[in-house]
Structure 1
Amino acid sequence: MSMSPFLPGNIHDQKLVSNIFPADWVNPTPEPMYNLVVVGAGTAGLISAIATATLGGKVALIERQSMGGDCLNVGCVPSKSLIRAARLAAEMRDAASFGLTPAPVGREDFPQIMERMRRIRVEVSKNDSVQRYAGAGVHVFLGEGVFTGPGTVAVGGAELRFRKAVVATGARAVRPDIPGLEGVGFLTNETVFNLTKLPNHLLVIGGGPIGCELAQAFRRVGAEVTIVQSSHFLPREDEDASAILAEVFQHEGIRVLLHTKPLGFEHGESGRKRVVLDHDGETMVVETDEILVGAGRAPNVQGLGLEAAGVEYDARKGVSVNDHLQTTNRNIYAAGDCCMGWKFTHAADAAAQIVVQNALFKGRKKLSSLTMPWCTYTSPEIAHVGMYEGEARSMGLAVDVFKVNMDEIDRALTDGEGQGFVKVMVRKGTGRILGATIVSTHAGEMISEITTAMVSGAGLGQLAKVIHPYPTQADAIRRVAGLYNKSRLTPLLSKTLKWWLKIQR
């Protein structure tokens, strides 16, 4: 099994590599001292570097594998390109529901789908390229960066001295220690986008966001798919949201084996792979063509010389940081997947901005002050911000929950997208929003309105005053806010209003 995320002979991947890790790149001559040295050129590292350079600081950026990190190369960009094609395939298949003639996508279309993904990835890579960052004044060093002391990093035979540094080395796919898995070969998000032939059957280990997104995408473009999950899938999310996705998966023909663990792997007949499973205490066997492991992420912290720099870390939790993202070396900070529980591109971006303010300008910005939304890009999407209801109640908070189903929204019905809901939780007796979950085709876009309200301190009642264009699916948010306002109409107030209107006749 190739561990490279790119295909050597593919023209798009050749262009990609020339942007993110050019073979002819010559590292610059180091400055005597840098304001900031950044180790890792994923989202957190790129933002830290470009922000420092824009402000006039001397900054060095070290990358050992590929500029852009997971998001560009093996994460958001390729996965969303595939998901978009898969969604169109589902719409073409279900065209009869719109009064149109169905045009099912065939297995022979898969290579073109993946080629489109590669073309898009090249276009996006220009934003993260070595050439762009070097042109912006960033000293880009390609190679392994290793701390050699509390204020120095070695890379490519050179030693860089810094006043401040940022560890932004990201994370990698967890490789479960299950008998036979390495022997039969498997895919992760780092290699699945190398596929140019659609497998007849794909076994997905893990029912988290990555597993669910890719399982649905592969099913929609023609593969048989089985998900193996030790609990219920998307265990972090609102149970009502997970239940809707379970119904969708069943309708689309995705086989979901919950409360199931893989016991071992072996080669089967005709080049297939046999997987032995413990399903609710009973042993069963599934044969598959490819295995996709989506069992979580592990921080990249080994081999960085963090010990020499006086930076504490844990192999599972990552680099140890305080709320200001400062490590145990007061001159070294960390940001992104290597140190944070929020393993999202937008979280890494926000963390990098905190690091630049705190490291270079003696700021006291806190990670805990962020209001962090996220989204799982299945169909329908599942987006969330703030607290969950169970979380709030466990803290002893009295709450009210307001919910509008998407099948009550005119635009959702005209779009044929009535599955889902908008659910908002407020502190009881107030309009203060504590959390929200949206399940809809456009949940990732819609959640930002609620996030904005939370950040600005606007209560749920304020959203009822926001005029939403009709018809839009986001009108569900206004409807939820209207339910909150209606709940404030006490019997006494209602009686008073009726009396007032009566005497005005």
Structure 2
Amino acid sequence: MERIKTDILVIGAGSGGLSVAAGAVQMGADVVLLEDHKMGGDCLNYGCVPSKALIASGKAAWGQSHSEVYGVANVTPKVDYAAAKDHVQGVIAEIEPVDSQERFEGLGVRVIRERGVFVSETEVQAGDHLIEARRIVIATGSSPFVPPIPGLDTVPYITNETLWQLREQPDHLLVIGGGPIGMEMAQAHRRLGSKVTVIEGATALGKDDPELAAVVLENLRAEGIEIAEHAKAKEVRGSAGAIEVETEDGAVFKGTHLLMAVGRKANTDGMGLEAAKIKTTRSGIDVDASLRTSNRKVYAIGDVAGGLQFTHVAGYHAGIVIRSALFGLPAKAKTDHIPWATYTNPELAQVGLTEAQAKKEHGMNLEVVRFHYEHNDRAIAERKTKGLIKVMVVKGRPVGVSIAGYQAGELINLWALVLANKLKMKHVANMVAPYPTIGEVNKRAAGAYFSPRLFDSALVKRVVGLVQRWLP
């Protein structure tokens, strides 16, 4: 057994763990990194990267069959599903070196490809290594949650982890779960030529503003995706190529393949957390605002910490931990400025409070500003006019922004900056956006906030009248 002493031990080489390891070692700390599966974690291998690559394939196919509006004849695309998966793997391979063991060893990190198990409050065993660390960061991420639906254990199904191994295109894909993963993969497969049915026990895209989610769902249905809401799966039966899902109301949905996309669970099993006196909750490891666990020498970041499950949140958490663990400075994680996006077409994005949340928190002080894509000249030129932005404003300061429409995931960046720095609507209004761009949607939303104050104000009109009388 090799005994190792180190400053920082990172368990998990996903986006959060890699960010901590890279930052800490380059700032002079001694760092050991444990990973018993793939470098890059879920995001690179099973999540963000491959899903966006497959969405790009679907977009290309859809463009060929829906180009007539631009004066280009529609054609029926020849989709090679296996080749699309090759494209996905090619994208992963291109990004892989950035997350590779070789790169991190080149930075000075000791990388051990073994599973880490706590044996005490400061020690972790990984294979034949016993590692004692001054600070430990748990960044083990999450895995697909598979609910105990009767019959599911006898029927072949796929998750976001196993989907990428599938080489034969599903004739009819059944998706249980209408969240971001389920809806993104539903649309990608529909555009590649599969029939798709989404079965959601509550409401599809239910964590987003319902008005804006409706914009997306309307378009998905128009593309031929069947979306059954308030349809809780009661039983699954059948075999490969002939699968049935029966819901509690007696409806039966038939398909050839089944994708389970009902959520994620934190990866905490088998880590010996009890030996380290680390408390857990139903959603993951219990942490305080500084991301410390009940063991003050141990932090938990990203999905395993049980909060917002996004790659960029794990990266943000890494910065908090580096500030605290390396420099001993106070640092607390917040969520009110964290954006997220669903990469359907149209896209759906959010930062801060939704309209319902803002009404509950701010009551009569809330103003909701709207601007529709149909009034944006670039959106008209691109034939991308389905969309809406809503800005929740309290005393001139945005407290939340919801966007559904073309490039919503890009537009939300500006508002994430605004909320993170507590800027006001006047700062967005002062911005000059190049014409014609989709980005003008943001500026026009700010303009919609000030327009009634300027153009509908009797006081403003009186002041202008007086000034005009006295000007030479």
TM superposition score normalised by structure 2? 0.96
Q: Which deviates more from structure 2 when the two are superposed, residues 348-357 or residues 491-500?
A: 491-500
Equivalent residues in 2 for 1:251-262, closer than 5 Å: 251-262=222-233
Per-residue deviation, residues 377-423 of structure 1 (Å, max 9, x unmatched) = 00011111001111122124421111110010000010111111121
- The 1:369/1:86 distance shift into structure 2, 3 A limit, reads closer
Per-residue deviation, residues 290-331 of structure 1 (Å, max 9, x unmatched) = 1001100000111101111111113x3111100000011111
- Who is 1:286 aligned against? 253
In the alignment, the residues of structure 2 paired with residue 466 and residue 236 of structure 1 have an alpha-carbon distance, to the nearest angstrom, of 31
Residue 260 of structure 1 aligns to a residue whose secondary structure is coil
Question: Do 2:50 and 2:92's aligned partners in 1 also have CA atoms closer than 8 Å?
Answer: yes
- Who is 1:160 aligned against? 131
Please list every run of 5 or more consecutive structure 2 residues that lacks an aligned counterpart in the other structure.
none
1:34 Cα offset (Å): 0.8
Residue 430 of structure 2 aligns to a residue whose secondary structure is coil
- Establish whether residue 452 from structure 1 lines up as the match of residue 424 from structure 2: no
Equivalent residues in 2 for 1:151-230, closer than 5 Å: 151-230=122-201
In the alignment, the residues of structure 2 paired with residue 30 and residue 444 of structure 1 have an alpha-carbon distance, to the nearest angstrom, of 47
Q: Percent identity?
A: 35
Equivalent residues in 2 for 1:291-440, closer than 5 Å: 291-314=258-281, 316-368=282-334, 371-397=337-363, 398-427=365-394, 430-440=395-405
Question: Do 1:372 and 1:386's aligned partners in 2 also have CA atoms closer than 8 Å?
Answer: yes
1:91 Cα offset (Å): 1.2
Question: Do 2:336 and 2:352's aligned partners in 1 also have CA atoms closer than 8 Å?
Answer: no
1:158 Cα offset (Å): 1.1
- Establish whether residue 53 from structure 1 lines up as the match of residue 25 from structure 2: yes
- Who is 1:22 aligned against? none
Per-residue deviation, residues 76-97 of structure 1 (Å, max 9, x unmatched) = 1100000011111111110111
- Establish whether residue 274 from structure 1 lines up as the match of residue 244 from structure 2: yes
Q: Which deviates more from structure 2 when the two are superposed, residues 50-59 or residues 389-398?
A: 389-398
Q: Which deviates more from structure 2 when the two are superposed, residues 165-174 or residues 85-94?
A: 85-94
Question: Do 2:339 and 2:350's aligned partners in 1 also have CA atoms closer than 8 Å?
Answer: yes
In the alignment, the residues of structure 2 paired with residue 234 and residue 152 of structure 1 have an alpha-carbon distance, to the nearest angstrom, of 42
Question: Do 2:336 and 2:351's aligned partners in 1 also have CA atoms closer than 8 Å?
Answer: no
After the TM superposition, which parts of structure 1 deviate over 6 Å for at least 4 consecutive aligned residues? Answer: none
1:498 Cα offset (Å): 3.2
1:141 Cα offset (Å): 0.6
Per-residue deviation, residues 206-238 of structure 1 (Å, max 9, x unmatched) = 110000100000000000000101122111111
TM superposition score normalised by structure 1? 0.90
- How many residues align? The count is 469
- Who is 1:145 aligned against? 116
Question: Do 2:336 and 2:353's aligned partners in 1 also have CA atoms closer than 8 Å?
Answer: no
In the alignment, the residues of structure 2 paired with residue 470 and residue 30 of structure 1 have an alpha-carbon distance, to the nearest angstrom, of 62
**One-letter identity of the residue aligned with 1:204:** V
**One-letter identity of the residue aligned with 1:50:** A
Question: Do 1:106 and 1:221's aligned partners in 2 also have CA atoms closer than 8 Å?
Answer: no
Residue 367 of structure 1 aligns to a residue whose secondary structure is coil
- Who is 1:478 aligned against? 443
**One-letter identity of the residue aligned with 1:438:** I
Q: Which deviates more from structure 2 when the two are superposed, residues 406-415 or residues 489-498?
A: 489-498
**One-letter identity of the residue aligned with 2:403:** I
1:502 Cα offset (Å): 4.9
Residue 302 of structure 2 aligns to a residue whose secondary structure is coil
